[in-house]
C-alpha cells in the first residue's frame, strides 16, 4: 500500500503520523490483504476501506483523547489486530497484549508483529472468560475491544480484566446508546462507570462511531465473568 496516501488520509482526520508509522501501516495493509486471501481473517473489500474503517477507526479516539496515561493495553478479541495494533503503531511506547481465541488469528498477529518489528507485544491465545478468572483478573490498566459482542456481553468479558483505576474502551457503532442501556446492570456489577463518550464519523461515507470509555471504580463481583459461553448465552440484560 502507499504509505503517503495513508499518511494524508490520517492527517485529514486529525491523526498525525510520522513517516515510519505510515510505512508500518502500509506494510500491515499489504500483509493483511495477502493473508486474508488465504485465511479470511477479516472482512475488507479494498484499500480505502482498510485505511478508514480499520486504521483510522482504531486510532481516532486515541489521537483526539489521548490514552489516559496508561502504559499498557490489552486488546480483547483482537482478530486481525484492531484496534490494538494501529494504537501500538501510534503510541510505540505502549506495552501491548493481544487476547484472541482463534489460533489462526494469533498466528497472523505474531507474523505481523515480526514484520513490523514491534517491541513489547504479547500474545494471549484463549478466552476472555477464562483469562478474566485467572492471571488476567483485575490486571490491566487499559482494555479495548471492537466488534466482539454486544455491550451487555462484552462488559462481562472486559471489565474483570481491568485494574482498579484503569479504563475500558468499547468501540461501537450507531447502536451504542441502546447497548449502553441494556448493559447498565452488568457494567455496575463488574465495577465500571461510564466516564466519557467519543463520537465521530468515518470518511468517506460518514459511518457513525462511538467509543464508550468506562473507568473501573470497584472490583468486579466474584461470579463474573461466568463460564465460557455463558455471557453470550445468558446475558444479564437490563431491559
Ligand atoms: N477486534 C477485531 C476483530 C473482531 S471479530 C476487529 O474489530 O476487526 C471478534 C474477534 O473476537 C474474533 O477474532 C474472535 O475470535 C474473538 N473473540 C470473540 N469472543 C472472544 C472471547 N470470549 N475471548 C477471546 N476472543 C474472543
> Model confidence over 30-59: pLDDT tens digits?
999 999 988 888 888 789 999 999 999 999
Q: Measured in whole angstroms, how far is the alpha carbon of residue 148 from the centre of its chain?
A: 9
Residue 21 lies in a domain: no
With a cut of 60, say whether residue 1 has pLDDT above it: yes
Residue 54 lies in a domain: no
Give pLDDT, residue 5: 96
Q: Whose CA is nearest to atom 16 of ligand 1?
A: 77
Per cent of the chain over pLDDT 90 is: 91
Q: Would you say the CB of residue 102 lies under 6 angstroms from ligand 1?
A: yes
CATH number at residue 105: 3.40.50.150
With a cut of 80, say whether residue 68 has pLDDT above it: no
**Confidence tier at 152 by pLDDT (50, 70, 90):** very high
Distance, CA 155 to ligand 1 centroid (Å)? 14
Residue 188 lies in a domain: yes
Average pLDDT score over the chain: 95
Domain count, the chain: 1
Cα→Cα distances 229→55, 131, 152, 235, Å: 30, 13, 13, 10
Full domain range(s) for residue 151:
67-233
Give pLDDT, residue 239: 53
Residue 112 lies in a domain: yes
pLDDT average, residue stretch 125-152: 98
Q: Would you say the CB of residue 179 lies under 6 angstroms from ligand 1?
A: no
Amino acid at each position: 500500500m502507499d504509505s503517503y496516501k495513508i499518511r494524508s488520509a490520517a492527517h485529514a482526520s486529525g491523526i498525525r503520523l510520522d513517516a515510519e508509522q505510515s510505512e508500518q501501516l502500509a506494510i500491515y495493509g499489504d500483509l493483511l490483504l495477502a493473508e486474508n486471501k488465504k485465511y479470511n481473517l477479516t472482512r475488507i473489500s479494498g484499500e480505502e476501506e482498510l485505511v478508514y474503517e480499520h486504521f483510522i477507526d482504531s486510532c481516532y479516539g486515541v489521537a483526539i483523547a489521548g490514552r489516559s496515561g496508561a502504559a499498557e493495553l490489552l486488546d480483547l478479541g483482537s482478530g486481525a489486530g484492531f484496534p490494538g495494533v494501529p494504537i501500538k503503531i501510534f503510541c510505540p511506547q505502549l506495552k501491548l497484549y493481544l487476547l484472541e481465541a482463534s489460533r489462526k488469528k494469533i498466528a497472523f498477529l505474531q507474523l505481523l508483529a515480526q514484520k513490523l518489528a514491534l517491541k513489547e507485544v504479547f500474545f494471549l491465545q484463549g478466552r476472555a472468560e477464562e483469562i478474566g478468572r485467572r492471571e488476567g483478573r483485575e490486571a490491566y490498566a487499559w482494555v479495548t475491544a471492537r466488534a466482539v459482542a454486544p455491550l451487555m456481553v462484552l462488559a462481562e468479558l472486559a471489565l474483570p480484566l481491568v485494574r482498579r483505576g484503569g479504563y475500558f474502551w468499547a468501540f461501537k457503532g450507531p447502536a451504542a446508546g441502546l447497548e449502553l442501556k441494556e448493559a447498565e446492570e452488568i457494567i455496575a456489577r463488574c465495577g465500571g462507570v461510564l466516564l466519557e463518550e467519543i463520537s465521530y464519523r468515518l470518511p468517506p461515507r460518514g459511518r457513525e462511531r462511538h467509543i464508550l470509555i468506562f473507568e473501573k471504580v470497584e472490583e468486579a463481583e466474584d461470579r463474573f465473568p461466568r463460564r465460557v459461553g455463558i455471557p453470550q448465552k445468558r446475558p444479564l440484560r437490563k431491559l
